[in-house]
Structure formats: C-alpha cells, structure tokens
Amino acid sequence: MANKNYSDLKLGKIISAKLSPDDAMLDVIQNPKNKIKYLVRFTCPEFTSLCPVTSQPDFAHLVIDYIPHKDIVESKSLKLFLESYRNYPTFHEECTLSISEKLINAIDPIWLRIGGYWYPRGGIPIDVFFQTGKPPLDVWIPDQGVKSYRGRG
C-alpha cells in the first residue's frame, strides 16, 4: 500500500543500507499521474553482489523499466535496497529475478522489465533479462542500450 505520509520515507534521512536484501524495505508512494501510462527507468551502472561460491565481487549494470499502476517506488529506498546486495552472496540469475520480484510485490506495476548486464569474470558475461509480459503499445519504451564493455555487440 502506498505511503501517503512522506515523513515516514527514507528520503531526506541518513539511513544505512541493510546487510541483506531480505531485510531491505522499499518505500512506496501513490502514483501522482495514475491516469496516464508512462515509463519509469532506473539505471544502476555500478551494482555489486558476491559470488556465493568464491565470495568474489560480481558487477553489473542494471536497467529497471516499469510502467506504474497505482504506486511508484521511491528512488532512495530503491538505491538502499540495491546496495543491500553489496555483500550478499547470490548468483546472477537469482539476484536479477529477486529484484524484479521485490518490485512487483511492492508496487504491482502495469509492466516491468529488468536487464542485468553482468560484467565478465573468466571471460564470460552473463546477462539476465526478465519482463512481466508484453509491454503496452501506447507507451514509448526505449531500448536499454547498454554496451558496457568491449565484446558486447
């Protein structure tokens, strides 16, 4: 349910990221333009998590696109949620999909897609993509356009 009392938000307060994404909460705000379909894009070019086998850091460029319904996610809470993965052991696939699941459960968007463009380790990039279904035809949805490292076409 959307937050109508903005004093309850993390915005404007000094708050540390949680140590686990399971403990991180997303602040939700009522969509101020819920009669209009539009796209919201969050880009996180310096996302990090840990490999659950080697404990080595994994780096990704995340692009999260969604078309809000009744609620939107507040950006600082999303930033803190994404930061909570910094020392969290998880595989690329589980990480990318769990981010989308948390967003879907929090804001119930009309449409959501996430591109997890993971930087290579051992010479192999693993990119993970998810979307909730076909996007509406009446909303402009630009290409994610990520060409983060040499070798990606």
Known catalytic residues are 51, 58
Name the helix (H) or strand (E) containing 10.
none
Helices (H), the chain: 75-83, 92-107
CA Rg, the chain, in Å? 16
DSSP letter at 71? E
Q: Among candidates 23, 89, 27, 24, which has minimal Cα distance to 56?
A: 89
Residue 95, SS3 per DSSP: helix
DSSP letter at 7? G
